[in-house]
Amino acid sequence: MKPTRILDLCANVLLAAVVAWVATNLAYSSFPPISVFSGASLFPVAALEAVLAFVIRQRVENQGIGDTSGQLHPITAARAVALAKASAQVGSLVGGIWLGFLIWLQTQGSGLRAASSDTPGAVVGLVAGVALVAAALWLEYCCRAPIDPPDEAATS
């Protein structure tokens, strides 16, 4: 498995922001009010992934990966990598959606009172998306196998 490419995540953000901006431009009047809690749903996931990253990192550093009792099973580490890769994609898409929404809100200026009241929720959503991407990339990094030292040359 290859590491998540930052360019792919940036493309996700850009695509989602454009789609969200267009959708908001067309249908903002039918949106419900956006509260601060609307965008905060990704914070608990980001926190759990950050904690998991530190646990796995500690296990990897102490050679605590294996299939014996008390060790972290390699399949569990592989599942954590899959979670991290999926979360990075979701975080970048959700962050892009909130970014597109926020850009639309900012272009409205003070013309719409509802737009100014929706801005804090959009900012929280954007920050939550960025936090999830950061936690996911950290988890993916912590799941990397340690680099083995090269074998010593055989002496005759």
Segment 54-93, tens digit of pLDDT: 999 988 888 777 777 777 888 888 999 999 999 999 999 9
Q: Where are the domains of the chain?
A: 6-25+34-142
CA dist., res. 31 & res. 37, Å (int)? 15
CA dist., res. 88 & res. 12, Å (int)? 10
140 pLDDT higher than 80:
yes
Query: Rg (Cα) of the chain, in Å, rounded?
Result: 21
Looking at residue 22, what is its pLDDT? Answer: 96
Half-sphere exposure of 80 (CA within 13 A, CB side): 27
CA dist., res. 25 & res. 18, Å (int)? 11
pLDDT tens, position by position, 90-103 = 999 999 999 999 99
Report which residue type is found at 2: K
pTM listed for this prediction: 0.87
Position 145 confidence tier, pLDDT thresholds 50, 70, 90: confident
